[in-house]
């Protein structure tokens, strides 16, 4: 169980580094263990979307449930990020 | 952290010793280390006067002296807030453990052994002076940032409607308007505003930039400038949000975005028309039917792509009846996401009951009890900025 929020920005750099270094075609973010995401956390998903898009990597966010799903739906991130259930 | 060797040439040292030979030899040692600004005193009382007059950066202090000894002088210095941080180095005989303990107890920072060994003496003096310099630099930096933040905070507050403005708008449109704004640190990323559009229409905007603190606050200033350039008069709320979104997309780096609610209340048609971009669900209240038990309270759908994330974003208008006696309650996500140790966060679904309870306690100004309830459960400082606006039509 975890939270993705304002204080996690440093960890984002590691994930972006991971995307930069690898030559993957698909990048799947599994949020099933996440129980809370705040606006900064949503911002991190947007950053990752842009990072993967510029590298022609297909990013998929999956497993969002409960409050996390609700936050993602409210912000309509599905309009720019591929969300799988 | 590596500290660059500090030049001691601009440091001032006071030597307090009743023995002239000791004063001269200490001065010789530290002068060789580059310290030229040296003052002398022959006992504790003279020493205290010299501290006030000479403003030293460090005191080299003998223990046994007539009139007032070194321990007393040091204790007196420490009682004065102005000299709490002044480094004091006692000169003691190295073999006396008891005396060294007394020196520390009197407030000394360190000691140098007698007879004076030049290398040790300079090293200890340098160490204390470097520590002091780091401390004063940090304190000065902190003070400057604090001053600037206080100033910036006043600027941010001035972007929001002040209470006189609330009263003025409320009276003009027959409303009750109450607002609460609190940032989680000195500056915040929330913004709200009231925009009269002629005599019968009023625009209501609430925006919350992702994150909080300085970055988010800078975005509220950007927003304020943009709003002035985007006329609201002849436009549906959804169209206006499309324009605001495009303007924000141009200036916001990826990952920064804002949620928003923009509504126009039309007093002639009793309609509230709004478009939203992922703001928390606003609460709409409509007066009870005759014989009913209290107002009908519900959450409005406010899903919408957050502002500044995509140039292609589209928004949808919704219209709801907001007749006399009805109300609209807008708030930022801190209201539902900030909890405390005992009770968790309120959560979106609990908001209608939260409003209902508050109305039961204060029909006219329910924002007050709402904030009391919120602060009773939330841990401070808040993790996010809180804005809450109550807008009710007078019955």
DSSP string, B112-157: EEES--HHHHHHHHHHHHHHHHHHHHHHHHHHHHHHHHHHHHHHHH
Partners of B312 on chain A (C-beta within 8 Å) are 79
The model's confidence at residue B315, banded by pLDDT at 50, 70 and 90, is very high
Task: Express each pLDDT in A15-52 by its tens digit.
Answer: 888 888 878 888 899 999 888 888 888 988 998 998 89
- All structural domains of chain B: 8-150 (3.40.50.2300), 159-393 (3.60.40.10)
- Distance between CA atoms of B284 and B297, rounded to whole angstroms? 6
Q: Which stretch of DSSP H or E encloses residue B24?
A: helix B20-32
Task: Please state whether beta strands B88-93 and B110-114 pair in parallel, antiparallel, or not at all (unpaired).
Answer: parallel
CA distances from A70 to A35, A55, A74, B263, B315 (A): 11, 29, 6, 23, 18
In angstroms, the separation between the Cα of residue B37 and the nearest Cα of chain A is: 47
Cβ-based neighbours of B245, under 8 Å, separated by 6 or more = B277, B305, B307, B308, B310, B311, B313, B315
**pLDDT tens readout for residues A48-65:** 998 898 888 999 999 999
Instruction: Name which of A5, A6, A80 is nearest B309 (Cβ-Cβ).
Output: A80
Q: Residue B252 burial (CB < 10 Å; 0-12/13-18/19+)? A: buried
Which residues have CB under 8 Å from B260's CB, separation 6+? B205, B206, B207, B208, B241, B244, B276, B277, B278, B279, B307
Task: Give the angle subtended at the CA of B64 by the CAs of B58 and B65, to the nearest 5°.
Answer: 85
Q: Is-contact B90 B102, C-beta < 8 A?
A: no
| Nearest-by-Cβ selection for A46 from B212, B257, B304 | B257
Give the pairing type, strands B327-331 and B386-393.
antiparallel
Can you tell me the distance from the alpha carbon of B63 to that of B78, in angstroms, rounded to the nearest whole number? Answer: 16
Band (A6; pLDDT cuts 50, 70, 90): low
- The average confidence (pLDDT) of chain B is 91
CA B58 – CA B113 distance, rounded (Å): 17
For residue B1, the model assigns a pLDDT of 47
Cβ–Cβ < 8 Å for B281, B302: yes
A2-84: which CATH architecture? Answer: 2-Layer Sandwich (3.30)
pLDDT digits (tens, 9 = 90+) for B167-216: 999 999 999 999 999 988 888 899 999 999 999 999 999 999 987 788 88
Q: pLDDT tens digits for B47-77? A: 999 999 999 999 999 998 999 999 999 999 9
Helices and strands (DSSP H and E) totals, chain B? 11, 15
Give percent above pLDDT 90 in chain B.
71
Residues of A in contact with B309 (CB under 8 A): 46, 77, 80
Nearest-CA distance A76 → chain B (Å):
5
């Amino acid at each position: 169980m975890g939270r993705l929020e304002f204080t996690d920005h440093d960890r984002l750099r590691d994930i972006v580094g991971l995307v930069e270094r690898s030559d993957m075609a698909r990048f799947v973010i599994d949020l099933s263990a996440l129980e809370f995401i705040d606006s900064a956390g949503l911002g991190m998903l947007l950053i990752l979307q842009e990072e993967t898009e510029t590298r022609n990597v297909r990013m998929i966010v999956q497993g969002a449930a409960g409050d996390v799903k609700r936050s993602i739906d409210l912000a309509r991130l599905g309009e720019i990020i591929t969300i799988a259930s | 952290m590596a500290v660059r060797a500090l030049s001691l040439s601009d440091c001032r040292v006071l030597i307090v010793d009743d023995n002239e030979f000791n004063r001269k030899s200490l001065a010789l040692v530290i002068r060789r280390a580059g310290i030229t600004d040296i003052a002398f005193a022959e006992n504790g009382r003279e020493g205290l006067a010299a501290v006030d007059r000479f403003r030293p950066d460090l005191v080299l202090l003998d223990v046994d002296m007539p009139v007032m000894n070194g321990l007393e002088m040091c204790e007196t210095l420490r009682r004065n807030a102005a000299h709490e941080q002044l480094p004091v180095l006692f000169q003691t005989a190295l073999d006396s453990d008891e005396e060294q303990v007394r020196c520390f107890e009197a407030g000394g920072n360190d000691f140098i052994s007698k007879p004076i060994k030049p290398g040790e003496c300079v090293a200890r003096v340098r160490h204390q002076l470097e520590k002091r310099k780091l401390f004063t630099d940090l304190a000065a930096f902190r003070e400057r940032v604090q001053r600037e933040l206080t100033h910036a905070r006043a600027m941010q507050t001035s972007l929001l409607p002040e209470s006189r403005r609330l009263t003025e708008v409320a009276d003009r449109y027959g409303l009750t308007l109450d607002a609460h704004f609190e940032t989680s640190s000195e500056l915040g990323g929330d913004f709200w505003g009231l925009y009269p559009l002629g005599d019968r229409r009023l625009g209501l905007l609430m925006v919350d930039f992702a994150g909080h603190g300085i970055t988010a606050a800078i975005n509220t200033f950007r927003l304020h400038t943009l709003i002035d350039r985007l006329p609201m008069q002849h436009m549906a709320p959804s169209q206006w949000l499309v324009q605001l979104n495009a303007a924000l997309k141009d200036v916001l780096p990826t990952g920064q975005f804002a949620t928003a609610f923009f509504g126009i209340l039309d007093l002639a048609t009793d309609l509230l028309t709004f478009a939203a971009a992922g703001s928390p669900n606003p609460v709409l209240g409509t007066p009870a039917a005759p014989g009913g038990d209290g107002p009908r309270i519900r959450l409005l759908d406010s899903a919408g792509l957050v502002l500044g994330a995509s140039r292609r974003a589209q928004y949808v208008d919704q219209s709801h009846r907001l007749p006399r006696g009805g109300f609209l309650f807008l708030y930022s996500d801190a209201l539902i996401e900030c909890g405390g140790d005992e009770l968790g966060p309120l959560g979106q679904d609990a908001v209608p009951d939260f409003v209902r309870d508050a109305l039961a306690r204060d029909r006219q100004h329910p924002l007050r009890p709402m904030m009391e309830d919120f602060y009773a459960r939330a841990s401070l400082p808040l993790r996010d900025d809180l804005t809450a606006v109550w807008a009710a039509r007078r019955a």
